[in-house]
Structure 1
Amino acid sequence: MKIRSDSSNYIRGPGESQEEVVRNKIPLESEKRKLENGVCNRLFVEQMINDLVLTSRERQLLRYIYRRPDASKREIAEAVGFKHHEQVSRTLDKIREKLKEYKGEALL
């Protein structure tokens, strides 16, 4: 990453010198992009969870992961009612395929 000498495009913390800002911080534009992408992805997931494109079990799985993103597959399987944690992986694969189709339709 090329660092510019102009620190106005960087996020500045309290008590940081201009040199520290340029050396240690991520460009503000990059942070804005990450934030916008995060919001868009969150809205997209919420929309997809509420759409009938997913089965009730798939929606339940996504809702749980959405609330507890750090949960293990075993915890997710138990919470959602799967008999084996591998069902989580298989169901997520199905959701990914549907997501690809859904995203393509949303862009049309």
Structure 2
Amino acid sequence: MGEYAWPTGPEVPAAEAVRQSWAKTVVALPVGARVGGEVIGRRRFGAFIRVEGIPNAVALAEITAMAQGMELPPLHAHVEGTVIDHAHHNHQVKIRLPG
């Protein structure tokens, strides 16, 4: 696996499960909520995070929402951030990492 990888493996919720749980995820993680989780994938545009305590929730910490000069966290790192938006079209919780 290279430095940048799509989320794969048993720790990644299935796309259909994420879609079916989306309404509950949005209610459980409103804008402004603090979240924590494990980095399960990295791309040049951001890090995918499996959110703790919310089954089938996937968050994306986009590089554009990070402090200037901040680097993407490595795979399997534990991170914490704040919910800043919900991407309904692809069922992702957008978060901002502190920095």
- Answer 1 or 2: which has greater helix percent: 1
TM range (shorter): under 0.3
Structure with the higher strand share, 1 or 2: 2
Which gives a bigger RCO, structure 1 or 2 (Cα 8 Å, sep 6+)?
A: 2
State the TM-score, normalized to the length of structure 2. Answer: 0.25
